[in-house]
Chains A and B, each alone.
Chain A
Amino acid sequence: MIQEQLWNNLDQWIKSGIRDSGDPLSKESSRADNHTFSQLQSILDAHSKGFVSFGECLLNEITSSHSTIIEQEFVTHFKEYLAQQSNSSVLNQFQIPTELLSLVKNDPSVFSKSDIFSLINRFSEQLWAGQKNSLQPDFADTQKKVTEYQNALIEHIDHHKAINNQAIQALLLKLNTDSKEINSLQELHRLWTESYESIYRHSLLDEQFQSSYGRLSNALIELQKQLHDFRNQLFQNAGLASKTGLDSALQRQQQFRKEMRTTKREMVAMKNQISSMKLEIEQLRSMVNSLVEPKTDTRKSK
């Protein structure tokens, strides 16, 4: 019964791992294939929708205020648009591990409750159903890791908010001082991208931004590691080969490989040494012969 439950858990885990094609662990996803086009289409679709909706907001603003854009309104629209774009960029890069994400997808209400711990509990209940307590890992540690991930994410998004604000100010400055007129939405967008990238590049050189980026990256990796450890534990409990076992086999294989390479090198060196010794012996032999031969010749001549 327990065994059956375990198999179900493993099956569910594996399914959750492959459900999302964006999972960095999915080896094939990094290779270019036919999905590229459809991915491209969906990216294009999402970005163009955002762009059009921003344009429409701005258009409404212009028409309602009789052809003049009020700076405050403009800034508000742009901020909304930007927050949406940069948040989705950050969330996309630092996406919560697929195994947890799949739970959120199955039951979005878990997220709306803003109770990340209920998500963890639910996760652990699903994975360790029917298992002895002694075989279960310590979920308090997972909760700490999720909290750290959340805090790091919030801190990093705050950095992006600051970058967005500065980018808008830089854009406004350009709109007020640059000699070039902006006549289209596309030109405006380009000018904003320039302003944004210039501020962003400056932020990349800032120690605090680097720390925040590192913190979030490490928090996400820690969380992912924890989930991998759980999977290993599950595999071990089920009597299956785990990643840890595979890893040590690979490590040993690599060690043999190196030893074999060293042995080959030594063999080649020895072969060369033997060849040169053979040559030396040949030379010595011919020298000896040449020393011996003249005596014989002398006797003959006598």
Chain B
Amino acid sequence: MNHLKIDPFKMTRELSEFQQRIEKVQKVLKEIPSVDVEPTAYKVIFRKDKLSLRHYATEKKRSSTPLLICYALVNRPYMLDLEEERSFIKTLLAHGTDIYLIDWGYPDDADRYLDLDDYINDYLDHSVEAALNHSGAEKINLMGICQGGTFSLCYTALHPKNILNLVTMVTPVDFQTPDNLLYHLSKKINIGLAVSTYGNIPGKMLCNFYNSLMPMKLGLQKHLEMSEQLECIDKATSFLRMEQWINDSPDQAGQAFQEFVEQFFQQNKLIKGEAMIGDLRVDLKQINHPVLNVFGQHDHLVPPSSSKALKNYISSNDYQELQFNTGHIGIFVSEKSKDSVAPSIFQWLNDRDL
């Protein structure tokens, strides 16, 4: 242990400072009654069951085709508008595009048998229709995020006429690449048994599952280092917003969850052209639209290899990839997101506007 040079005096001081910091943190946490998220104003223009479709209006419209964002069923879409200083939505609005955002809501027992057909051919299809009617546009730009990206791919393949341009962000396409940890860890789990036991899959269970991909970094180490984030109220509030989002994990409608895990993760049917949404088979070759595929270099949930596979399975002549030096979440909330991710996406869409 040649390089372990811990001085006992310094170590005593370090431990005492650490304890003092923890005491300070306890005080700071008591001073913050609650945290607010989603600072950007929106109007709900359509509702169906638990789903609501939000409209964010830009003040200086520069593109004639509105953008519809399809978020994942896992976690909540306010990650895109967490706070004023790091709002992906606000940055896109500032560039001049109108945005529609799907909020899937919180499924409950009544939604136990909702399947992928309901989510894609019904809810997503109605959202596209509502956004088109509301905006008066003939076509829409569709942006899918993570699992929402997979949904968007299925939707575009099944209903190609409604879409002008497609943007996929941190989207799994090939679910069985060697570095896909979610696939490796989930492949021996009996999903049918889980769904028949719990009905809807508890959100907390999914949180635990994601954390088990990096248990010490996302658990112990993060908690030890968070005392540094919680020393002053501003930083602490910002940190707590993110914590709130991480823990705000809706339960997953049982049937849809089972279909997604079995067809996509365990059988990799999307790239085999065998995925079934209701009675419709998804053929990615039907996608001949301009496609922008955006992903994070350090994404541990959806590795770049999984997203990059897309180019091999669609028939688009206008396909572009953008890789950023971020992780799965950083791509939306980091400084880089504000400075380069959102502006690059807007530019790409604007170049292909009608």
Name A's B-contacting residues (CB within 8 A). 22, 24-25, 27, 29-32, 34, 36-37, 40-41, 43-45, 47-48, 51-52, 55-56, 58-59, 62-63, 67, 69, 71, 74, 85-86, 89, 92-93, 172, 174-176, 178-186, 188-190, 193, 196-197, 200-201, 204-205, 210-211, 213-215, 217-218, 221-222, 224-225, 228, 243, 246-247, 250-251, 253-254, 257-258, 261
- Known contacts: A32-B247, A48-B22, A62-B8. The answer to whether A55 contacts B196 by CB under 8 A is no
Check B14 against A246 for contact (C-beta < 8 Å).
no
The distance in angstroms between the C-alpha atoms of A120 and B340, with both chains bound, is 59
Residues of A within 8 A of B313 (CB): none
B223 within 8 A of A: yes
Residues of A within 8 A of B212 (CB): 93, 213
Check B197 against A225 for contact (C-beta < 8 Å).
yes
Check A197 against B220 for contact (C-beta < 8 Å).
no
Which of B6, B19, B181, B213 contacts A184, CB < 8 Å? Answer: B6
From B117, B181, B216, B240, residue with most partner A Cβ within 10 Å:
B216
Name B's A-contacting residues (CB within 8 A). 1-8, 10-12, 14-15, 18-19, 22, 25-26, 29, 32, 34, 106, 108-110, 112-114, 117-118, 122, 178, 181, 184-185, 187-190, 193-194, 196-199, 202-205, 207-208, 211-217, 219-221, 223-224, 226-227, 240, 243-245, 247-251
Q: Min CB distance, A165 to chain B, in Å?
A: 15
Residue of A nearest to B214 (CB): A197
Check A43 against B221 for contact (C-beta < 8 Å).
no
Which of B1, B114, B185 contacts A74, CB < 8 Å? Answer: B1
Q: Min CB distance, B197 to chain A, in Å?
A: 4
The distance in angstroms between the C-alpha atoms of A175 and B5, with both chains bound, is 10
Residues of B within 8 A of A47 (CB): 220, 223-224
The distance in angstroms between the C-alpha atoms of A246 and B110, with both chains bound, is 9
Check A193 against B34 for contact (C-beta < 8 Å).
no
The distance in angstroms between the C-alpha atoms of A40 and B30, with both chains bound, is 12
From B6, B22, B207, residue with most partner A Cβ within 10 Å:
B6
The distance in angstroms between the C-alpha atoms of A176 and B110, with both chains bound, is 59
Check A52 against B19 for contact (C-beta < 8 Å).
yes
The distance in angstroms between the C-alpha atoms of A103 and B13, with both chains bound, is 44
Check A214 against B240 for contact (C-beta < 8 Å).
no
The distance in angstroms between the C-alpha atoms of A196 and B216, with both chains bound, is 8
Please, could you name 6 A-B residue pairs with CB atoms under 8 Å apart, sorted by A?
A36-B240, A48-B223, A182-B5, A200-B215, A225-B193, A246-B109
- Known contacts: A204-B181, A254-B114. The answer to whether A62 contacts B6 by CB under 8 A is yes
* Main DSSP-derived SS at the B contact region: helix
Check A37 against B29 for contact (C-beta < 8 Å).
yes
The distance in angstroms between the C-alpha atoms of A253 and B182, with both chains bound, is 33
Which of A30, A58, A181, A185 contacts B202, CB < 8 Å? Answer: A30
Check B193 against A44 for contact (C-beta < 8 Å).
no
* Main DSSP-derived SS at the A contact region: helix
Check A247 against B199 for contact (C-beta < 8 Å).
yes
Check B4 against A175 for contact (C-beta < 8 Å).
yes
Residues of B within 8 A of A74 (CB): 1, 4
- Known contacts: A200-B215, A204-B184. The answer to whether A250 contacts B110 by CB under 8 A is yes
The distance in angstroms between the C-alpha atoms of A246 and B111, with both chains bound, is 12
- Known contacts: A37-B32, A43-B223, A247-B112. The answer to whether A224 contacts B197 by CB under 8 A is yes
Check A27 against B224 for contact (C-beta < 8 Å).
no
Check B187 against A184 for contact (C-beta < 8 Å).
no
Residues of A within 8 A of B204 (CB): 22, 24, 29-30
Residues of B within 8 A of A186 (CB): 14, 18, 224
Which of A63, A172, A224 contacts B1, CB < 8 Å? Answer: A172
Residues of A within 8 A of B26 (CB): 41
Check A176 against B1 for contact (C-beta < 8 Å).
yes
Q: Min CB distance, B228 to chain A, in Å?
A: 10
Residues of A within 8 A of B2 (CB): 175-176
- Known contacts: A69-B1, A183-B6, A205-B178. The answer to whether A59 contacts B32 by CB under 8 A is no
Residues of A within 8 A of B197 (CB): 221-222, 224-225, 228
Q: Min CB distance, A269 to chain B, in Å?
A: 15
- Known contacts: A48-B18, A215-B188. The answer to whether A182 contacts B113 by CB under 8 A is no
